[in-house]
Structure 1
Amino acid sequence: MLEHQGSCHCGAVVFRFNAPLITEAMLCDCSICRRRGGPLTTFTLSPDALKIEAREGALRSYKFGTEIATHHFCDTCGIFTFVETRLTPGEYRVNLGCLDDLDQQALDIRSYDASAL
């Protein structure tokens, strides 16, 4: 297991988690994910596994449509950091673009049907 660290652009939201070396990623095809871009982890993390440190008021959330998935972002810089998916409420997929020292170009990235998440 490796410790992975990441943050939003301005550093108001910082997070870390332990997971194996990340070699795969997924692109969700829902309307918000298509617009914001960025690959997500193929695995989910429990609230205990995802350690989040955010300045007071910095972490915001957005729901749309069925309001089942919750998209979390930084209120200061607007960067999307993670999402709670509708099939695994309370668990998170991380925006891999926020991770320090991860080469997104080296990832095996696959598209996923949003209704399956």
Structure 2
Amino acid sequence: MTSSDVTRHVGSCHCGALAFAVETDLAQVIECNCSHCYRKGLMLTFVQPDAFTVTAGEGVMRDYLFNTHNIRHHICPTCGVEPFGRGKGPDGKEMVAINIRCLTDVEPFSIAPNVRFDGLHRL
């Protein structure tokens, strides 16, 4: 995909209680080795808040904070899946982290992470 391939994608947790829509080109997919991302197997892409909409579950999701508390990891209280998180990027701007493994219209194996982030040693 190229940067001009911005597409609307939909996603959810496993049980569907948390659902969302996002507009992204999936040009940058990050795999991080921090203790959180590594254990959960997260593959992430980041978007601006105006490219993201929660379509179900805004009032039921649970938050998980760790380390610097810059990202609110949103977790479904029913199935335990983390489809997205909200926070601030290194530049201080608001962003949404999308777990691409939760996109229902994308085959994650077709997208290789193109950025390996060494979060284990940067924390």
Q: Under TM normalisation by the shorter chain, which class is it?
A: 0.7 to 0.9
TM-score (norm 2): 0.78
Aligned: 1:92 with 2:73: no
Provide the secondary structure at the position in 1 that maps to 2:62: strand
CA RMSD of aligned residues (A): 2.1
Partner of 2:37: 33
Q: Distance in 2 between matches of 1:104 and 1:56?
A: 25
- 1:51 match: 53
Aligned match for 1:111, one of 113, 116, 120 = 116
Gapped runs of 5+ residues in structure 2? 1-5
Is it true that 1:13 corresponds to 2:18 in the alignment? yes
Answer whether contact 1:24 1:108 (CA < 8 A) is retained: no
Distance 1:81 1:100, change over 3 A: same
CA distance in 2, matches of 1:23, 1:84: 19
Q: Is the 8 A contact 1:58 1:76 kept in 2?
A: no
Gaps of 5+ in 1: none
The structure 1 segments of at least 4 consecutive aligned residues displaced by more than 6 Å after TM superposition are none
Q: Share of identical aligned residues, percent?
A: 35
- 1:105 Cα deviation (Å)? 1.4
